[in-house]
Structure 1
């Protein structure tokens, strides 16, 4: 670190980043994924079932995973699991 204008210069990012595969639910009529990110393909599959669309597919891509994205992916997975259980039971 070095001092510039009396301020301490940051040594790096405060966010932990890790390359990881994230899963999404896409549809051929849309350019961007409709649901996601998800940490697991199983959660993305639940999202596909919740959409109830024959054209929906699970896709994946490599991305850097920071704390914010990880939180969203975990939250998205929990939400679609709850909705998928409702679709199966009702």
Structure 2
């Protein structure tokens, strides 16, 4: 699933209750995600602002679960990108 700022996307199908969605900022010229993981689409959108590339997009991936290191990394990545993007909101689990 891909998201772009200002572009509406279809609602994703229902997901299993245990599935967790992680978000990443990717670019077509890069072989893997440039930023992420993020725990929310909003934090990943801040990553798009930080990236400053019209070709960068937010992608998501469903995982069965995440460990504490991944959760902490997602929270930290979101806080850093919000700070650089100049926003104060965010996702904290």
Aligned residue in 1 for 2:67: 66
The structure carrying a bigger strand percent of its residues is 1
Aligned residue in 2 for 1:56: 56
Displacement of 1:19 in angstroms is: 3.5
Displacement of 1:62 in angstroms is: 1.1
Q: What stretches of structure 1 of length at least 5 have no aligned partner?
A: 1-17
Displacement of 1:31 in angstroms is: 1.4
Provide TM-score, normalisation by structure 2.
Answer: 0.70
Question: d(CA) in 2 for partners of 1:31 and 1:55?
Answer: 14
- Paired residues for 1:6-85 under 5 Å: 19-63=19-63, 64-85=65-86
Question: d(CA) in 1 for partners of 2:19 and 2:80?
Answer: 24
The structure carrying a bigger helix percent of its residues is 1
Asked which structure has the greater CA Rg, the reply is: 1
Displacement of 1:85 in angstroms is: 0.5
Provide TM-score, normalisation by structure 1.
Answer: 0.73
Moved over 2 A (4+): none
Aligned residue in 2 for 1:14: none
What secondary structure is seen at the aligned counterpart in 1 of 2:62? strand
Q: CA RMSD in A?
A: 1.3
